[in-house]
């Protein structure tokens, strides 16, 4: 039986997916892909007014609402803020999700980003994806291997620069202009973050920052669209039989390559 096309977004914190990848997810949904999302961290440190336990409950509910808006299946978090490290127990849990979804596309953070949670998530996502077909790697919970090619893509780092402030140019940009409003709605579902930043940085600063960054990415392409998300493809070795680009193939004219 043919494999249903699926994309799995693996990002560190509740709201990272909506900020970095929701536009691309929605474009893939239009192309017939099932959407799956994993926030590795519970977001427990994301409040200055609620306890860690209450923050976790609130942010989990917000993440679920954002997933509903996107039409995505959301998987439970498996770590806490500032505690995402490249370690085997966490890798086993993440690999179990990858095998369960068996995606043909995985989206994750840049390998070089402004904070360790993002970079550790990216490294874990690479290995968890690589381990999808390695029978002797035991996942938690235990799961069978999931055959089939998969391609992993890295998002733009926060601020569009690496940790040493150098500008990053992606392999290509997805035109998200037509789905930007829904992406914005999904990001706004993370109300605890929006309200906190409204009080400390100005009304709607959270949403404005996302819009501005998506606009800056779109300006990398001389094609005249307003918003975009940039992606860099991970080397295919160990993940797919050939060097392929399923994101570009699925999105057609919405995907604009920048590098050969």
pLDDT of the residue at 206:
80
pLDDT of the residue at 51:
96
pLDDT of the residue at 41:
98
Task: Give the angle 16-124-81 at the CA atoms, nearest 5°.
Answer: 45
Nearest CA to 37 out of 8, 4, 77 is that of 8
pLDDT of the residue at 1:
45
* 230, 235, 240, 241 alpha-carbon torsion, rounded to 10°: 130
Percent helix / strand / coil, the chain, rounded to 5? 45, 15, 40
Domain regions of the chain by residue span: 6-257
In terms of residues, how long is the chain? 260
Residue 64 phi/psi, 5° resolution?
Answer: -65, -40
pLDDT of the residue at 200:
62
Task: Give the angle 112-6-161 at the CA atoms, nearest 5°.
Answer: 15
Straight-line distance from the first to the last Cα atom of the chain, in angstroms, rounded to the nearest whole number:
34
pLDDT of the residue at 193:
82
Taking 50 as the pLDDT cut, the residues of the chain under it are 1
Q: Are 7 and 106 in contact (CB under 8 A)?
A: yes
**What is this structure's pTM?**
0.96
Task: Give the angle 39-43-44 at the CA atoms, nearest 5°.
Answer: 145
> 105: which strand partners?
7, 151
pLDDT tens digits for range 143-154: 999 999 999 999
Q: Which residues of 133-158 are buried (b: 16+ CB within 10 A; e: fewer)?
A: beeebebeeebeebeeebbbbbbbbb
pLDDT of the residue at 48:
83
Nearest CA to 109 out of 188, 23, 193, 9 is that of 9
pLDDT of the residue at 76:
98
Q: How far is CA 111 from the centre of its chain?
A: 12
pLDDT of the residue at 203:
53
pLDDT of the residue at 204:
63
CATH (residue range 6-257): 3.40.50.10320
Nearest CA to 144 out of 180, 90, 98 is that of 98
Residue 194 phi/psi, 5° resolution?
Answer: -60, -45
pLDDT of the residue at 2:
55
pLDDT of the residue at 201:
62
- d(CA 126, CA 252) in angstroms, rounded, equals 25
């Amino acid at each position: 039986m043919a494999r249903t096309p699926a994309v799995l977004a693996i990002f560190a914190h509740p709201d990272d997916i909506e900020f970095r990848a929701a536009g691309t997810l929605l474009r893939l949904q239009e192309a017939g892909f099932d959407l799956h999302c994993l926030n590795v961290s519970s977001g427990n440190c994301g409040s200055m007014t609620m306890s860690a336990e209450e923050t976790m409950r609130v942010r989990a509910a917000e993440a679920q609402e954002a997933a509903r808006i996107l039409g995505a299946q959301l998987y439970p978090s498996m770590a806490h803020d500032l505690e995402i490290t490249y370690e085997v127990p966490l890798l086993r849990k993440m690999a179990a999700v990858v095998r369960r979804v068996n995606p043909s596309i995985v989206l994750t953070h840049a390998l070089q980003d402004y904070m360790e949670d993002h970079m550790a998530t990216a490294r874990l996502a690479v290995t968890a994806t690589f381990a999808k077909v390695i029978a002797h790697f035991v996942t938690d919970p235990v799961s069978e291997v999931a055959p089939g090619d998969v391609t992993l893509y890295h998002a733009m780092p926060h601020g569009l620069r690496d940790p040493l402030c150098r500008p990053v140019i992606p392999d290509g940009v997805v035109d998200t202009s037509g789905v930007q409003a829904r992406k914005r709605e999904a990001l706004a579902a993370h109300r605890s973050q929006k309200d906190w930043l409204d009080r400390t940085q100005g009304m709607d600063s959270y949403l404005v920052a996302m819009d501005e960054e998506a606009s800056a990415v779109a300006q990398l392409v001389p094609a005249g669209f307003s918003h975009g998300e940039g992606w860099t493809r991970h080397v295919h070795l160990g993940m797919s039989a050939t060097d392929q680009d399923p994101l570009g193939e699925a999105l057609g004219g919405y995907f604009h390559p920048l590098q050969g």
